[in-house]
Structure 1
Amino acid sequence: MTLKSPHTRWDGDDVHGRRVVLTSVGVRLDRLFARVAGTPRHVIETGLDMTGEVHGRLHGRFPSIDGDWYGVVNYEIGYADGRPQKVYLVDQLVPFHVLRLLSETKPH
């Protein structure tokens, strides 16, 4: 199931079925989960790695009353110890300033 926004883009038609258009984005975790300046670090080796950028799929958009835009995104966050399991986050509302459009590679 996909969270539907007034600005969700759809592909297909009523006869053959409709599906949400997913847009590849980078989610900048450092910006989304910014640490308060001066806060001391306490490293937990088995904790979530909230640094860098992870791949996400944008599938909805909402404006705020102030004119800021928020995207509805699915993405994964890995663990600092490198284990293969990840935390999968679905339908997360994130500000557009933490998203970066990723170019899709199309087959020739």
Structure 2
Amino acid sequence: MSSMEDLPRTEGTAPRVIDANHGLTTPPDRVFVCLDWLYVRGPGRPNHINGAGIDLSGHAPATLTHWVPTVSGDWVAIVNFGVKYADGRRSELWLREQMVPDYAIRRRPDRDG
């Protein structure tokens, strides 16, 4: 192909506007980020346990605001989520507007279901 303009196009998604006058959009989707799939430890790397570090294992509750397609045909979610500290402190490290590959996203059950 001679240029990117010749490629088929699929646009991403964004929150649907409910009330443009007041800037209201649909609420973000409730999802989990599979941290084990997102943060993979390099092969053969030794552990150096740090009690003040963040725990990058398990599933983190997240809100998904929209999807963005990649040029190779995959999708990345734009999400907000927090990761817990290993020492159990109440605060979390909040990560906003992070790109997460589709394979590391799982739907959370509906609030009513």
1:57 aligns with one of 59, 63, 68:
63
Q: Matched residue of 2:100: which SS?
A: strand
Q: Deviation of residue 11 (structure 1)?
A: 4.5
Shift of 1:39: 1.2
- State the percentage of identical aligned residues: 31
Structure 2 residue identity aligned to 1:60: H
- Assess, with a 3 A threshold, how the Cα gap between structure 1 residues 42 and 8 changes in structure 2: closer, same or farther: same
Q: Give, in angstroms, the shift of residue 21 of structure 1.
A: 2.9
Query: Is 1:87 paired with 2:88?
Result: no
Question: How big is each residue's C-alpha offset from its partner over 1:34-81, in whole Å with a ceiling of 9 and x where there is no partner?
Answer: 111221101001100111111000001100011000000000011001
Larger relative strand fraction: 1
**Aligned residue-pair number:** 103
Conserved? CA contact 2:67–2:78, under 8 Å: yes
8 Å CA contact retained: 2:83, 2:94: yes
Residue 47 (structure 2) pairs with residue 41 (structure 1):
yes
Q: Letter of the aligned partner of 1:12 in structure 2?
A: I
The gaps in structure 2 that reach 5 residues or longer are 1-10
The 4+ residue runs of structure 1 with deviation greater than 3 A are none
Where do 5+ consecutive residues of structure 1 fail to align? Answer: none
Tell me which of 28, 32, 39 is aligned to 1:26.
32
Larger Rg: 2
Select the residue among 20, 31, 54 that pairs with 1:14. 20
What's the secondary structure of 1:61's corresponding residue?
strand
Aligned to 1:45, the other structure's residue is in SS state coil
Two-structure CA RMSD over aligned residues (Å): 1.8
1:77-105 Cα shifts (integer Å, max 9, x gaps) = 11001100111111001101001011112
